[in-house]
């Protein structure tokens, strides 16, 4: 139902309809038509995953720390925009991270 004065939404409160904008009140003609429903907070649980999920691409690169020949890589703009980006590598075995300037 909508308010006759301002057109705002009328909600039931204390056995009357009350406008959410101007506060105007009106009598409820048929109480069985209205039902007040309260929102319940949804409880979210934390999911713990006991496995490593790889999302970065991998390439053949020798780790300077352990000698492994596979590394994840990503690019990052670490200097001015007119200069080349920096390529970072992370060893898939020992997780050592190093960078390569281009």
Q: For residues 57 and 25, is the Cβ–Cβ distance under 8 A?
A: no
| Residue 46 tokens, joined | 């934390």
Q: For residues 57 and 70, is the Cβ–Cβ distance under 8 A?
A: no
- Counted residue by residue, the chain has a size of 102
Nearest to 90 by CA among 80, 81, 98, 78: 98
Q: Which of 25, 62, 83, 100 is catalytic?
A: 83
Is residue 82 among the annotated active site residues?
yes
Q: Which of 27, 41, 50, 82 is catalytic?
A: 82
By annotation, the residues acting in catalysis are 82-83
């Amino acid at each position: 139902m909508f308010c006759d004065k301002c057109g705002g939404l009328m909600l039931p409160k204390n056995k009357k309809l009350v406008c959410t904008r101007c506060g105007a009140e009106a009598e409820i003609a048929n109480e069985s038509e209205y039902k007040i429903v309260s929102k319940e907070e949804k409880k979210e649980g934390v999911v713990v995953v006991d496995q490593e999920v790889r999302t970065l691409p991998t390439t053949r690169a020798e780790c300077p720390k352990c000698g492994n020949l596979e590394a994840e890589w990503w690019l990052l703009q670490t200097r001015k925009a007119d200069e080349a980006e920096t390529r970072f590598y992370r060893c898939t075995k020992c997780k050592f991270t190093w960078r390569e300037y281009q």
